[in-house]
Chains A and B, each alone.
Chain A
Amino acid sequence: MAYDAMAEVEELKKKLAQNPDSLIFVPLADAYRKAGQLQEAIDVCKKGLEKHPAYMSARVVLGRIYGEKNMLEEAVVELQKVEKADVDNIMVHSMLGSVYLKKKMYADAVSQFQRVLALNPDDTETQEKLEEALAAKQEPAAAKETSPVKHAEPAKPVEVQNASVAAPAAKAGPGKDADPKLDVQKNMKAAELYTKKEEFDKAIEIYKEILDRDQENIIVSQRLREIYDFQEKKVMKARAKSAEQPGKIDPNKFSTEDILGLMKDAVENDSVDDKQPAHGAKPAEHAKPAEAKKEDTARSAAAKPEEKAETSHAKIGTEKAKLLEKVLMDLGNVEGMVGSFFLLRDGSIVASVLPKSINASEIGKLIASIVEKTEESVRNMNQGKLNQVVISSEAGQLLFTEVLSGVLFMIGNEAINVGKMRHILKDVIDNIKRVLA
């Protein structure tokens, strides 16, 4: 086994030597880890991170290696960096939970395992770890609970369909010498089952009852906060799905349907481009301070996009920018197309068909950075020039492609599919090239 791992190490070392700026240092560090050479693994990872400090996967691997080397403090530091950058990283929560368990920081371990289960409720391994952490956490707490009053008032049993875990608590009955630690655990399990079934009100009720009896139970307090968050997210999701009228849009969390609605309005009223005076004809609007613009953006998310998002026409010339916007406007007629924009490599958007509720300049910078990272990865893989990227998500599609000196970015909703996006693209690219020529 060790021989295989070392062969892999040698192979990866050669590849890294051929392309020292690539991300292959991560598989190399992991190969060292598998070979049991943990210090070498750490050195490789740290060296690679000097060149790629934002590469979170490398920090995950480094955290894992530190964990295996029992350098628990260092492991926590690395993993927390990833946690900050990516709050829903299930792997990091799981690893942090295990490290906290080793450090006997049971409350923190419980919190991390609960996050894992919130993201993946069927993870039986984590369920076992959570139980282990909970039991360890409850031991010292139970030792403190010597008040006879508390023993006389066991937790109210909770009925949960198919939740046999609640039965022992029910059997204890009032007046019996029930173990409060057991009751808390059983009721927490019941609450977790309700949470999994997304019956948040019932879960909240149970947690509140536990807290009534044990106000210092930080695990339950934390869990209660999380359940409120889940409940809020569920409500927001339902609202976003049903919000077909612009007036109901939450300006802070607009969905693709919201954007589509705004786009349709714009197309129907032909107000995004044609009715608007040429760029620069409204100096008062464009001279608004950034803060005021931001406020406008939030306030008018539900309003008709009487103007297009802020663009940097000057960078390619107003006439060209207007022609480009015309090309993008035509895209608005395609069923499922939500919006599009054309940006330069520095992130400046030179033409866009987006509702003004989208902060074009912020999006431009983000997209430019994503395009740059993707291109770098493609370069590192020796795959030549990047042509296009299509991202399919739950509620829509994104497509970006290089066109001459800039990048065309298209946003589609669920009605548009990958094939359609790619089909449309060819004509749009030709038109953009004609404009920019």
Chain B
Amino acid sequence: MDFKSLLQKIVDSVDGAIGAAVIGEDGIAIDKFSAKPEFDITAAGAEYSTIISSARKASTSFGLGKTNEVLISTEKATMIMMVVGSSYFVTLALSLDGNLGRGRLELKKAIPELEKLL
């Protein structure tokens, strides 16, 4: 299975999922799948990498070790980011009524497969 198929599988199996992407630490998306074209996952990738970087700083400041996951809720959506390997992360955007628990579960399940592909 390639990146896009895997991302599509995640989006298809989570109620309210808007899009998913695999993004490098440098903010460049390796691949993406968007269920709603209005959600710009490429632009989000660059911004997400900044957020991950901030999260890492915060974790380090409190001696909490390596950051595994960041969850962001905004007025319009919820975004889950999970670290994959040492330089990548996978992200899933959900609508406000999306199934957050299922989204986290599907991302966790996909991580070993993504690590293989990377």
Binding site for B on A (CB under 8 A): 12, 15, 19, 22-24, 26-27, 30, 55-58, 60-61, 64, 86, 89-91, 119-120, 240, 253-256, 259, 363, 366-367, 370, 373-374, 377-378, 380-398, 411, 418-419
B76, A373: Cβ atoms closer than 8 Å? no
A sample of 18 cross-chain residue pairs with beta-carbon separation below 8 angstroms, ordered by A number, consists of A23-B43, A23-B46, A27-B28, A57-B26, A57-B49, A61-B28, A91-B25, A119-B86, A120-B85, A255-B63, A378-B47, A378-B72, A381-B40, A381-B47, A383-B79, A390-B71, A393-B68, A419-B101
CA distance A388 to B73 in the complex (A): 5
CA distance A396 to B54 in the complex (A): 16
Which of A256, A363, A391, A395: most chain B Cβ within 10 A? A391
Nearest-CB residue, chain B, relative to A409: B58
A389, B72: Cβ atoms closer than 8 Å? yes
Smallest beta-carbon distance A131→chain B, Å: 21
Chain A residues within an 8 Å CB radius of B87: 90-91
Smallest beta-carbon distance A349→chain B, Å: 14
Instruction: Indicate whether A373 sits within 8 Å of B54 (C-beta atoms), given known contacts A27-B46, A392-B70, A395-B65.
Output: yes
Interface size class of B (residues with CB under 8 A): 35 or more
Interface 1/0s, chain B 40-51, versus A by CB < 8 A?
101111111111
B50, A377: Cβ atoms closer than 8 Å? yes
Smallest beta-carbon distance B4→chain A, Å: 15
A398, B76: Cβ atoms closer than 8 Å? no
Q: Is B110 on the interface with A (CB-CB < 8 A)? A: no
CA distance A398 to B53 in the complex (A): 14
CA distance A61 to B28 in the complex (A): 9
Chain A residues within an 8 Å CB radius of B49: 57
A256, B27: Cβ atoms closer than 8 Å? no
CA distance A120 to B66 in the complex (A): 14
B63 partner, pick from A23, A27, A55, A256, beta carbons under 8 A: A256
Smallest beta-carbon distance B42→chain A, Å: 6
Chain B residues within an 8 Å CB radius of A91: 24-26, 87
Chain A residues within an 8 Å CB radius of B53: 56-57, 86
A391, B43: Cβ atoms closer than 8 Å? no
Nearest-CB residue, chain A, relative to B85: A120
A391, B27: Cβ atoms closer than 8 Å? no
Smallest beta-carbon distance A278→chain B, Å: 29
Chain B residues within an 8 Å CB radius of A391: 55, 58-59, 67, 69-71
